[in-house]
Structure formats: structure tokens, C-alpha cells
Amino acid sequence: MENLGIGIQLMIVGMLTVFCILLIVINLGKLLIKVVNAVAPEEQVAPKKAAAASAPAAAIDATTMAILEQTVSQLTGGKGHVASAKKI
């Protein structure tokens, strides 16, 4: 009976220890995120070149368009259709 009491006491102490350590890890993680966000600058996304944006999208040939239309029709049971397609 004495061993059962010691076992329960050890279990409670162990669970409380794990709980406290997890709280410390969570709070240190939050602190690290705040520090990194304050210190490290945000990345600047380079604007796309105007020439690439103004160039027309490459047209898809008739064979590829027919294959796309057949595939969409088959997958949707004839309910879907391809309005337009372009290479990216």
C-alpha cells in the first residue's frame, strides 16, 4: 500500500514537471517569434519585369485545346467546358 502512494506521488510530480517544462518551451517560442519579427526585416518581393507582364500569353494549339476540352468533358460528365486556356 505504501508503494502505491509513492507511485502516485511520483506520477503527479512527473506530470507537473512536464507541464511546467512545456509552458516554458511555449513561452520561449513565442518570445523568439517576437524577437525575430522585430529584428529581421521583412523580405521585399522584387517586382516583375514590365516586358514579361506586357507580353501576350502564348497561345495553345488546336490539338492541345481539343484534348483539354475532351478531358474536362470526361471528368465532369459533360457538364464542364473550357472557356479559355493559356500557357503560363
Look at residues 58, 49, 45 and name the one whose alpha carbon lies nearest to residue 86. 58
How far, in Å, CA of 66 to CA of 71, rounded? Answer: 9
The C-alpha atoms of residue 42 and residue 38 are separated, in whole angstroms, by 10
Residue 86 has pLDDT above 90, yes or no: no
Label residue 7 by pLDDT band (50, 70, 90). Answer: very high
Q: Give the 3-state secondary structure of residue 47.
A: coil
pLDDT above 90 as % of the chain: 49
Q: Where are the domains of the chain?
A: 1-41, 54-83
pTM above 0.85, yes or no: no
Dihedrals phi, psi of 48, to nearest 5 degrees: -70, 150
